[in-house]
Structure 1
């Protein structure tokens, strides 16, 4: 699975959560996504779900995609 990163801001948000929450960063992103969904904010929900996937990808030791 290749993770799409929409913007530099998305990567910055992922790194900030990793710095602040460590191993629980993906969980924090999921909590933020749920909160946005509960408030009916679809854009922020999608943003935080993407951040969750980015964090999982960054934390993985597995090589994903083409190696050049």
Structure 2
């Protein structure tokens, strides 16, 4: 499960899904790699979490406990 530091990360994930469709996760991963290559580990981690969130948002069934 991703850890979200701010609700804007949900909006970022939604924007990537709207712009890249099924490739949104790959785009988030590329952004994480790019940030890591630049030495920006904070943003690299943020984009990895958004990548995980995109997987959850794209699932067609509930994941985890639903009450």
TM-score normalised by length of structure 2? 0.90
Tell me, yes or no, if structure 1 residue 7 matches structure 2 residue 6.
Answer: yes
Give me the CA root mean square deviation.
1.1
Tell me, yes or no, if structure 1 residue 38 matches structure 2 residue 37.
Answer: yes
Point out where structure 1 has 5 or more consecutive residues left out of the alignment: none
Point out where structure 2 has 5 or more consecutive residues left out of the alignment: none
CA distance in 2, matches of 1:63, 1:3: 15
The alignment of Structure 1 onto Structure 2 pairs a total of residues equal to 67
Moved over 4 A (4+): none
TM-score normalised by length of structure 1? 0.89
